[in-house]
Amino acid sequence: MPTRDHPGLPGHDVWDQDLFTCPFTFMGIPLSHDLSNSQAAVLGVPFDCGTHPVRIGSRYGPQAIREQSRLIRPYQPPIADFNALERLKAVDCGNVNVVPGVIEESFEHIEEAVWRIADSDTIPLTMGGDGAVTLPQLRALHRKHRDLVVLHIDAHTDTYPGEGDVRARYNTATTFTRAAEEGVVDTANSIHIGPRGTIGSQNVFEHTRDQGYELINGTELYERGFDAVIAHVHERLAGRPVYLCFDMDFFDPSCAPGVCTPTWGGATAREGLTLLQRLAGLNFVAFDVNTVSPPHDVGGMTAFLAGTVMLECMALACRRQQNIAP
Ligand SMILES: [Mn+2]
Neighbours of 76 (CB within 10 A): 18
Q: Using pLDDT thresholds of 50, 70 and 90, give the confidence band for residue 8.
A: low
**pLDDT tens figures, 294-323:** 999 999 999 999 999 999 999 999 998 888
- Domain membership flag for residue 316: yes
Distance CA 251, CA 247 (A): 8
The domain in which residue 44 lies consists of: 26-322
Q: How far is the CA of 263 from the centre of ligand 1 (A)?
A: 8
Query: What pLDDT score was predicted for residue 6?
Result: 54
- Over residues 102-125, the mean pLDDT reads 97
Q: How far is the CA of 155 from the centre of ligand 1 (A)?
A: 5
Which backbone phi and psi does 232 adopt, to 5 degrees?
-65, -45
Query: What pLDDT score was predicted for residue 204?
Result: 94
Residue from 255, 245, 271, 275 nearest 128 by CA: 245
Q: Which residues contact 243 (CB under 8 A, 6 or more apart)?
A: 137, 138, 141, 148, 149, 150, 151, 185, 284, 285, 286, 288
Q: How far is the CA of 71 from the centre of ligand 1 (A)?
A: 25
The structural domain count of the chain equals 1
- Over residues 65-69, the mean pLDDT reads 98
Domain at 255, CATH number = 3.40.800.10
Residue from 66, 118, 68, 57 nearest 92 by CA: 66
- Domain membership flag for residue 65: yes
Query: What pLDDT score was predicted for residue 19?
Result: 82
Say if residue 2's pLDDT is above 60. no
**pLDDT tens figures, 76-85:** 999 999 999 9
Identify residue 298 by its one-letter amino acid code.
V
Which of the 8 DSSP states describes residue 197? Answer: S
Q: What is the pTM of this model?
A: 0.94
Q: How far is the CA of 267 from the centre of ligand 1 (A)?
A: 13
- Domain membership flag for residue 203: yes
Q: Using pLDDT thresholds of 50, 70 and 90, give the confidence band for residue 264.
A: very high
Q: How far is the CA of 296 from the centre of ligand 1 (A)?
A: 15
Q: How far is the CA of 260 from the centre of ligand 1 (A)?
A: 8
Q: Using pLDDT thresholds of 50, 70 and 90, give the confidence band for residue 18.
A: confident
- Domain membership flag for residue 21: no
Output the average pLDDT for the chain.
94
Say if residue 234's pLDDT is above 70. yes
pLDDT: is 23 or 316 the higher one?
Answer: 316
* DSSP letters spanning 74-130: S-BTTTB-S-HHHHHT-EEEEE----TT-HHHHHHHHHHHHHHHHHTT-EEEEEESS
pLDDT: is 6 or 130 the higher one?
Answer: 130
Distance CA 79, CA 89 (A): 20
